[in-house]
């Protein structure tokens, strides 16, 4: 079996597919796994266990050949033609495209393989995804941030990795360390005592908009070292960043030696981070290395960094973002503000307080208390109780329909995607439901089972009502099957669907199940059969989501009912015990 994994994005995106790569390897023992990456990032291939060969896509070269007038006109074409031929000649059985852009879609459309998962464009530009998860990735561009799945989890879903996650310590050892990397890290840390607290700063990012700012990092360093005088700070960077980092370290107003540069190669930084107690970083590839390793990560979100889609993904890590309305901004947009507001809003004092909490191994409730005063920042913990990453606000949330529905709908959406992939039957719905319960506990730690149960019961009522609407829609669809060529009947049906969609979208409990209906549009010019097909698919998808949503809700309600009963029993026992003690002590006094 020969498998090709294509990722033509940047280094951080290549590292973010580490869980998916591990899943592919575990599912296909003995398979030859090839990786296609941009030649700039081919070093990242060494991080993945079991790779047979790396195919280097010379993006910079062919792009330059296209735009520079002093390069041969056909250089890029000749190179690409040869590359596609040589890659196809390997004879792949399965191609995974984790790049999800048009360039990779066209490329994967040309590569020969019987099975392709991910965005593929055929000659006419028609799109196929090969997986409900990748189709979902395309759709979630339009979602609210809090609804979205982290891309790491989408990749994992697309390769069928969710079954594996619960079976093994899956997220341990995602990336390979090398001997040379260990030696490099060891040399950098020589002389330090094991007990010294080690903190890594990653001050630079690929885009100045995403940088928190050297001045703020400086202030953070001074605060941290004042609170933790035994700690050491290492400012990480690649060899081409040496000058900047050395200048930064010299400019910090701290005793000599407490803050030092750590200029490392990629293998070196992987091993180096394994020795760190804490990594404080912007949205960079180092962040993803931190998520794949053992160091706790505090990610500082600024500019176009998207915490929900591409943020930190290791449980227990933290994400700190401003509450500025303009964040996140678009990748290619220039900042329209006079000041870098989203970075300024994250004060060094807030980050120092959070970092101190992590270094002191505080319990979550104490971290919450420590951060309570910092109103301009939103702090999230990365939680994987349910499986996919959830960014849970550090401040306790009150139970609202919106917040509760969001938790349920994410779980239902994941399970419905697995059902579309034919994997739902392999899942244990009971344990999936318990995972959702864990997620609710994390999100609403102060909520009592009874309170949750009542809120969920409301949600169930809404979904049952939607179920009624769906049943009448199914009947109409059956009638339309005989008459879909009639434009009037088709339009009536589409209008009914649009009206139903509008009603469902008004309520947070039913908003997510309405998503499949978004693709049913009134001015669709496809052929009648294609329109009917889209309608049927949308209704089927809606039915799957409803079914799963109701199963989850019912299961949770029963679980919460049991918990509520246990609570009552416990209270009763406590009350009896107190009364007995009072009686006994009164008796003694008498």
* Residues forming a β-bridge with 392: 381
Nearest distance from C-beta of residue 7 to another protein, angstroms: 16
Classified as helix, coil or strand, 97 is strand
- DSSP 8-class letter at 498: H
Nearest distance from C-beta of residue 60 to another protein, angstroms: 8
Nearest distance from C-beta of residue 118 to another protein, angstroms: 16
Of 120 and 252, which has the nearer Cβ to another protein?
Answer: 120
Of 6 and 279, which has the nearer Cβ to another protein?
Answer: 6
Supply 327's token pair.
Answer: 């964040």
Query: 382-401: which residues touch another protein (CB under 8 A)?
Result: none
Nearest distance from C-beta of residue 33 to another protein, angstroms: 23
Of 99 and 132, which has the nearer Cβ to another protein?
Answer: 99
DSSP state letters, 119-167: -EE-TT--EE-SSHHHHHHHHGGGS-GGGPPPHHHHHHHHTTTHHHHTT
Nearest distance from C-beta of residue 266 to another protein, angstroms: 19
Dihedral sign computed on CA atoms, order 362, 364, 370, 375? positive
Classified as helix, coil or strand, 374 is coil
- For another protein, the binding residue among 109, 130, 459, 549 (CB under 8 A) is 109
Of 141 and 339, which has the nearer Cβ to another protein?
Answer: 141
- Give the C-alpha separation, 323 to 329, whole Å: 13
- Give the C-alpha separation, 151 to 12, whole Å: 12
By CB under 8 A, tell whether 186 contacts another protein: no
Binding mask 452-481 for another protein (x = CB under 8 A): ------------------------------
Nearest distance from C-beta of residue 346 to another protein, angstroms: 34
Binding mask 119-148 for another protein (x = CB under 8 A): --xxxxx-----------------------
Of 79 and 143, which has the nearer Cβ to another protein?
Answer: 79
Q: Cα–Cα distances in Å, from 472 out to 368, 455, 476, 498, 543?
A: 48, 27, 6, 14, 12
Residue with tokens 């992939």: 421
Q: Where are the alpha helices (DSSP H) in 228-319?
A: 242-251, 266-274, 285-292, 307-310
Of 103 and 349, which has the nearer Cβ to another protein?
Answer: 103
Please work out the total of residues on this chain that contact another protein, with binding judged by CB under 8 A.
35
Of 69 and 590, which has the nearer Cβ to another protein?
Answer: 69
Nearest distance from C-beta of residue 246 to another protein, angstroms: 26
Of 92 and 532, which has the nearer Cβ to another protein?
Answer: 92
Residue 160 makes CB contacts below 8 A (sequence gap 6+) with 23, 27, 421, 423
Packing angle of the helix pair 75-89, 102-110 (nearest 10 deg): 60
Nearest distance from C-beta of residue 161 to another protein, angstroms: 29
Give the closest residue to 386 by CA, choosing from 165, 562, 170, 549.
165
Give the closest residue to 41 by CA, choosing from 20, 10, 64.
10
Could you write out the three-class secondary structure of 512-569?
A: HHHHHHHHCCCCCCCCHHHHHHHHHHHHHHHHHHHHHHHHHHHHHHHHHHHHHHHHHH
Query: 8-27: which residues touch another protein (CB under 8 A)?
Result: none
- Span of 117-125, 189-197, 237-245, 534-542 interacting with another protein by CB under 8 A: 117-125
- For another protein, the binding residue among 26, 110, 227, 238 (CB under 8 A) is 110
Of 81 and 472, which has the nearer Cβ to another protein?
Answer: 81
Of 120 and 302, which has the nearer Cβ to another protein?
Answer: 120
Supply 25's token pair.
Answer: 């390897």
Structural contact between residues 284 and 305, judged by C-beta atoms closer than 8 angstroms? no
- Give the C-alpha separation, 355 to 197, whole Å: 12
Name the strand (E) or helix (H) holding 319.
strand 318-322
- DSSP 8-class letter at 41: G
Nearest distance from C-beta of residue 126 to another protein, angstroms: 11
Query: 294-313: which residues touch another protein (CB under 8 A)?
Result: none
Q: Which value, to the nearest 10 degrees, does the dihedral of the CA atoms of residues 72, 74, 75, 80 take?
A: 170
Binding mask 30-69 for another protein (x = CB under 8 A): ----------------------------xxxxxx--xx-x
Nearest distance from C-beta of residue 103 to another protein, angstroms: 4
Of 103 and 518, which has the nearer Cβ to another protein?
Answer: 103
Name the strand (E) or helix (H) holding 53.
strand 51-57
Query: 65-104: which residues touch another protein (CB under 8 A)?
Result: 66-67, 69-82, 84, 101-103
Nearest distance from C-beta of residue 87 to another protein, angstroms: 13
Q: Cα–Cα distances in Å, from 107 out to 47, 56, 65, 102, 311?
A: 25, 13, 18, 8, 28
Of 125 and 186, which has the nearer Cβ to another protein?
Answer: 125
Q: Which residues bind another protein (CB under 8 A)?
A: 58-63, 66-67, 69-82, 84, 101-103, 106-107, 109-110, 121-125
């Amino acid at each position: 079996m020969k498998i090709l994994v294509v990722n033509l994005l940047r280094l951080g995106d290549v590292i973010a597919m580490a869980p998916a790569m591990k899943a592919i390897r575990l599912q296909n023992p003995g398979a030859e796994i090839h990786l296609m990456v941009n030649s700039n990032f081919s070093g990242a291939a060494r991080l993945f266990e079991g790779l047979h060969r790396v195919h280097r896509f010379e993006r910079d070269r062919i792009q330059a050949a296209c735009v520079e007038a002093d390069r041969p006109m056909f250089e890029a074409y000749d190179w690409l033609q040869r590359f596609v031929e040589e890659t196809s000649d390997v004879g792949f059985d399965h191609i995974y495209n984790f790049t999800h852009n048009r360039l990779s879609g066209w490329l994967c459309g040309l590569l020969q393989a019987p099975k392709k998962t991910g965005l593929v464009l055929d000659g006419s530009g028609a799109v196929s995804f090969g997986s409900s998860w990748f189709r979902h990735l395309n759709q979630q561009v339009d979602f609210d941030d809090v609804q979205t799945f982290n891309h790491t989890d989408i990749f994992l879903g697309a390769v069928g990795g969710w079954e594996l996650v619960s079976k093994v310590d899956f997220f341990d050892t995602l990336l390979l360390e090398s001997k040379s990397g260990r030696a490099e890290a060891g040399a950098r840390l020589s002389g330090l005592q094991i007990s010294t607290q080690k903190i890594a700063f990653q001050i630079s990012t690929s885009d100045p908009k995403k940088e928190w700012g050297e001045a703020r990092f400086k202030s953070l360093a001074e605060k941290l070292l004042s609170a933790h005088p035994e700690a050491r700070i290492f400012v990480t960077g690649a060899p081409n960043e040496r000058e900047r980092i050395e200048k930064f370290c010299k400019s910090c107003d701290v005793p000599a030696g407490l803050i030092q540069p750590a200029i490392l190669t990629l293998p070196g930084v992987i091993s180096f981070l394994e020795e760190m107690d804490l990594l404080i970083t912007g949205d960079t590839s180092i962040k993803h290395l931190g998520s794949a390793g053992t160091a706790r990560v505090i990610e500082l979100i600024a500019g176009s960094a998207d915490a929900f889609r591409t943020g930190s993904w290791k449980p227990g890590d933290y994400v700190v973002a401003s509450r500025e309305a303009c964040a996140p901004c678009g990748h290619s947009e220039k900042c329209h503000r006079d000041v870098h507001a989203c970075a300024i809003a994250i004060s060094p004092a807030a980050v120092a307080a959070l970092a101190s909490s992590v270094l002191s191994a505080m319990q979550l409730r104490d971290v919450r208390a420590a951060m309570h005063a910092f109103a301009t920042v939103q702090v999230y913990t990365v939680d994987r109780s349910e499986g996919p990453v959830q960014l849970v606000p550090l401040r306790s949330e009150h139970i609202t329909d919106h917040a509760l529905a969001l938790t349920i709908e994410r779980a239902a959406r994941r399970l419905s995607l697995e059902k579309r992939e034919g994997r739902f039957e392999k899942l244990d719905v009971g344990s999936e439901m318990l995972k959702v319960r864990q997620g609710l506990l994390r999100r609403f730690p102060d909520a009592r089972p009874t309170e949750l149960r009542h809120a969920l019961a409301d949600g169930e009522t809404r979904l049952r009502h939607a179920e009624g609407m769906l049943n009448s829609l199914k009947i109409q669809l059956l009638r339309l099957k005989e008459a879909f060529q009639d434009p009037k009947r088709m339009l009536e049906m589409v209008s009914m669907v649009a009206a139903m969609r509008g009603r469902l979208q008004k309520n947070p409990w039913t908003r997510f199940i309405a998503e499949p209906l978004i693709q049913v549009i009134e001015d669709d010019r496809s052929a009648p059969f294609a329109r009917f097909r889209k309608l049927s698919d949308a209704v089927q998808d809606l039915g799957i989501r409803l079914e799963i949503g109701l199963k989850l809700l019912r299961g949770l309600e029963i679980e919460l009912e049991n918990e509520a009963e246990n609570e009552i029993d416990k209270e009763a026992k406590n009350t009896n015990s107190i009364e007995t003690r009072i009686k006994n002590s009164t008796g003694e006094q008498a």
